[in-house]
Amino acid sequence: MSALPKQIFHRLQDDKEIEITINKFKNVTDYGGQRILDILLICSQRFKEERFESCLQLAQCVLDIVWEMLNTGDWKEVPVIWRKVYTYGAIYKAAAYYAMGKLEQCIHASDYGLLMGAPILDNILNDIISAAAARIHPCKQTTSIDDALANAGDHHRNDDIDPQRQITQLSCPSLDYFRKHYFCTKEPVILTDVIDHWPALGARRWSIQRLKDIAGHRTVPIEIGTRYTDDSWTQKLMPLSKFIDEFITMESNQESGYLAQHQLFEQIPELRTDICVPDYCCIIDDNNDDVDATVLTNAWFGPQGTISPLHHDPYHNLFAQVMGRKYIRLYPEHESENVYPYPTKLLSNTSQVDVEFPNFENYPNFANAEYLECIIEPGQLLYIPPRCWHYVRSLDISFSVSFWW
């Protein structure tokens, strides 16, 4: 048995706080949720009585039924209250595991609460994770993988890039200059000397070992399969250390795994302190009234050879390279017809063409489409305008951070 830090333990067994929290969920009773609140109440009582096995079972029962709610109907239409109830169940599950001394399971349960749920109780799950992480043994060393990183990789060199098509590089332009010449005109550009001060690139330089040390026990979503357009493509949740061991450092893995488009820095604040949102992300469109000031920060971490098929997004995108190199090709928005988007609504932002091995019989006009290209290296920042088509292939083990706004 291990004791949770006092302030966490106290909050989870304080009758008053439990009552207040459960009361906040009252509107689930409009959707038949009283039965779940009844279970949550008993679950919290069992925690208080230190009957942790029983607490765990009841919490699991809540998670199982709310999981069904979250999977019924369109995800976007599921009332957010269900995600909060899910998180409350995850909190008791994690706390019970902690109390039983099962720290890995505790972190695992907490991550499910963060990934599937919505923050409640001042994001107490992060406190539970920190407490568990402080007591847990570190993930095992990765033998000299970081040394190997320096030499490995696909030697796709800069001179393979057609100089005519090379994306312009610019050293740390002023916000105004960037706005006028790139943001407003929707021109892509590589910015250098902008993110050099990131701890991730200097004082606390990211390496496979460092990621493992900070976040090895954390559960993250992994895309399995080379391209998201493939039939066999799927997503799995697994601890980051398992992903590293099975998909990054093991060269013989036949399946390709990619931690892609995940808000890792929301989930793991310890990593967030190693990066900064670039100032350029505060530039906004003049003629856009419903401006949403939030910047979506996503992590992209994978082995050499991950591919994001040619697609476009509705956002301004600053794409920061932290580890390894990536080959990127851009087709302007006005080439849309020549890149043959999928006819289905779901994939209408994705091209059917295999960019580096195009089938010109099926897609003859693709040969006429004009494009730009580059190899982006650690410390560089690529600006991809909204609806600009982009194709990305990693040349090394790679970690990138994208900022969408």
* CA 180/CA 198 separation, integer angstroms: 26
The conformation of residue 5, written as its DSSP 8-state character, comes to P
DSSP-derived secondary structure for 28-84: GGGGTTHHHHHHHHHHHHHHHTT-HHHHHHHHHHHHHHHHHHHTSS-GGGS-HHHHH
- Closest approach of Cβ 350 to other proteins, in Å? 16
- Closest approach of Cβ 235 to other proteins, in Å? 8
- Closest approach of Cβ 231 to other proteins, in Å? 6
In the bound state with other proteins, the residue whose beta carbon lies nearer, of 161 and 238, is 238
Number of shown-chain residues binding other proteins (CB under 8 A): 23
In the bound state with other proteins, the residue whose beta carbon lies nearer, of 112 and 178, is 112
Among 6, 68, 150, 171, binds other proteins (CB under 8 A): 68
The residue behind tokens 């988007």 is 341
The first and second tokens of residue 99, run together, are: 């109390």
Contacts with other proteins, 8-47, as mask; x by CB under 8 A:
---------------------xxxx-xx--xx--x-----
* Binding window for other proteins (CB under 8 A); candidates: 72-80, 115-123, 156-164, 191-199: 72-80
Q: Which residues within the stretch 215-274 sit at the binding site for other proteins (CB under 8 A)?
A: 231, 233-234
Burial group, residue 153, by CB count within 10 angstroms (0-12, 13-18, 19+): middle
DSSP-derived secondary structure for 152-217: -S----GGGS-TTTBPPEEES--HHHHIIIIITTT--EEEESSSTT-GGGTTT---HHHHHHHHTT
The first and second tokens of residue 138, run together, are: 């570190």
> CA-based Rg of the chain, rounded to a whole angstrom?
23
- Closest approach of Cβ 27 to other proteins, in Å? 13
In the bound state with other proteins, the residue whose beta carbon lies nearer, of 75 and 357, is 75
Q: What angle do CA 182, 184, 189 make, to 5 degrees?
A: 15
In the bound state with other proteins, the residue whose beta carbon lies nearer, of 69 and 395, is 69
- Closest approach of Cβ 283 to other proteins, in Å? 38
Q: Using the rule CB under 8 A, is 160 a contact of other proteins?
A: no
- Closest approach of Cβ 74 to other proteins, in Å? 8
* CA 242/CA 232 separation, integer angstroms: 21
Partner residues linked to 221 by β-bridges = 237
In the bound state with other proteins, the residue whose beta carbon lies nearer, of 260 and 268, is 260
In the bound state with other proteins, the residue whose beta carbon lies nearer, of 151 and 344, is 344
Query: Among residues 325, 327, 323, 324, which one has the least CA distance to residue 307?
Result: 327
In the bound state with other proteins, the residue whose beta carbon lies nearer, of 236 and 334, is 236
Among 14, 24, 48, 57, binds other proteins (CB under 8 A): 57
Partner residues linked to 79 by β-bridges = none
Q: Using the rule CB under 8 A, is 348 a contact of other proteins?
A: no
In the bound state with other proteins, the residue whose beta carbon lies nearer, of 62 and 208, is 62
Helices then strands, each counted (H, E), the chain:
13, 13
* Binding window for other proteins (CB under 8 A); candidates: 54-62, 156-164, 177-185, 383-391: 54-62
In the bound state with other proteins, the residue whose beta carbon lies nearer, of 69 and 275, is 69
Q: Using the rule CB under 8 A, is 61 a contact of other proteins?
A: yes
* C-beta atoms surrounding 137 within 10 Å: 8
Binding region for other proteins (CB under 8 A): 29-32, 34-35, 38-39, 42, 57-58, 61, 64-65, 68-69, 71-74, 231, 233-234
